[in-house]
Amino acid sequence: MPKNKTKGSNLERELCLKLISRGYRAVRVAGSGAMKNADCDIIAGNRKKKYCIEAKSSKKLIKYISKEQMNRFISFARIFGLEPLIALRFDRQEWVFVRPNQLKESGKTLSMSLEKAKKVGKKFEEIFK
Amino acid sequence: MPKNKTKGSNLERELCLKLISRGYRAVRVAGSGAMKNADCDIIAGNRKKKYCIEAKSSKKLIKYISKEQMNRFISFARIFGLEPLIALRFDRQEWVFVRPNQLKESGKTLSMSLEKAKKVGKKFEEIFK
């Protein structure tokens, strides 16, 4: 597995365990670290709220996500009645969570800058209470 | 990974692909083949029905499942609003699907015999139309 895929899987695992320690039931989706266009990375929920999470890390100041991937992610969330959340991990930053409709659209690509994520995104503790 | 775990993962993958080819959105849960007491193996659904599936293979004429695992499985299903199904694959048999309450209870263990599974279980095509 390429190094960045391994890193992605480790980040997903870390987030998943963080959710479990917060009292959520959470599972990682198999192959989501390695496969392009997997449906989502993590499914998490408790009796009140249910989420599907796409985890993305970036070494740059802006993260790009293909519109095709987001569409698959959103339709998956709809089918299972899950709230779709994108978990962004910029270098040397904490997780920040944004909704798909907060991404900036340009052609076939969506994006979120670190700057905007800090403004509109939510921290782990704000979402997973 | 032990041989039987690999076999289990392959069977899960096969079932997952079968569901996708039937028009369902289906994902495998990471680590479910290797981890004891994972929440479930497969999550699958379409606009009408949503399932979580625990896949079990058996070389013997009876399959035993720990009550503890079933309890985790059922509570996971409840939280996410999924119908829990156990997918049984006895040697040289097709998949047969049973509900948790169809398992026979004895102490800390639940079981399903091939004989009973053939009577009360449903075939893939009967459930996933």
Give the residues across from B113 on adjacent strands: B62
- Kind and range of the H or E element at B5? helix B3-21
Query: Two tokens at B65?
Result: 């499942």
B9 to chain A: closest CA residue:
A30
Residue A4 reports pLDDT greater than 70: no
Q: Across the beta sheet with B122-123, what order do the strands follow?
A: B25-28, B42-45, B50-58, B83-90, B96-98, B122-123
pLDDT reading at A35 higher than 60: no
CB atoms near residue A7 (< 10 Å): 14
The string of pLDDT tens digits covering residues A53-96 is 999 999 999 999 999 999 999 999 999 999 999 999 999 999 99
The reply to whether residue B39 touches residue A30, judged by beta carbons under 8 angstroms, is no
Predicted confidence (pLDDT) per residue in B90-111, tens digit: 999 999 999 999 999 988 999 9
Q: Residues of chain B whose pLDDT is less than 50? A: 34
Closest Cα of chain B to A107: distance in Å? 26
Identify the pLDDT of residue B3. Answer: 60
Answer for the pair B87, B70: CB distance below 8 angstroms, yes or no: no
d(CA A48, CA A56): 25
Can you list the domains of chain B with their CATH numbers?
3-127 (3.40.1350.10)
Can you give the pLDDT at residue A67? 94
pLDDT of residue B33: 52
Give B-chain residues touching A75 at CB under 8 angstroms.
Answer: 25
Contact B79 A45 (CB under 8 A): yes
CA B61 to chain centre: 17
Consecutive H or E run containing A106: strand A104-106
More confident position, B31 or A98: A98
**Residue A33's pLDDT band (cuts 50, 70, 90):** low
Between A107 and A34, name the one with better pLDDT. Answer: A107
Min Cα distance A114 → chain B (Å) is 29
For residue A65 the two structure tokens come to: 């996500």
Contact flag B81-A81 (C-beta cutoff 8 Å): yes
In angstroms, the separation between the Cα of residue A12 and the nearest Cα of chain B is 11
Judging contacts by C-beta atoms under 8 Å, the chain A residues touching residue B24 are: none
Residues A118 and A96: their CA atoms lie apart, in Å, by 7
Q: Which residues of B are catalytic, by number?
A: 32
List, in sequence order, every beta strand (DSSP E) within chain B.
25-28, 42-45, 50-58, 62-66, 83-90, 96-98, 104-106, 109-113, 122-123
Residue of A45, A46, A79 with shortest CB distance to B25 = A79
pLDDT of residue A47: 93
Give chain B's contact residues with A (Cβ, < 8 Å).
25, 27-32, 38-40, 43, 45-47, 50, 75-76, 79-82
pLDDT of residue B65: 95
Cβ atoms of B95 and B15 closer than 8 Å: yes
User: Residue A5 CB: number of other CB atoms within 10 A?
Assistant: 12
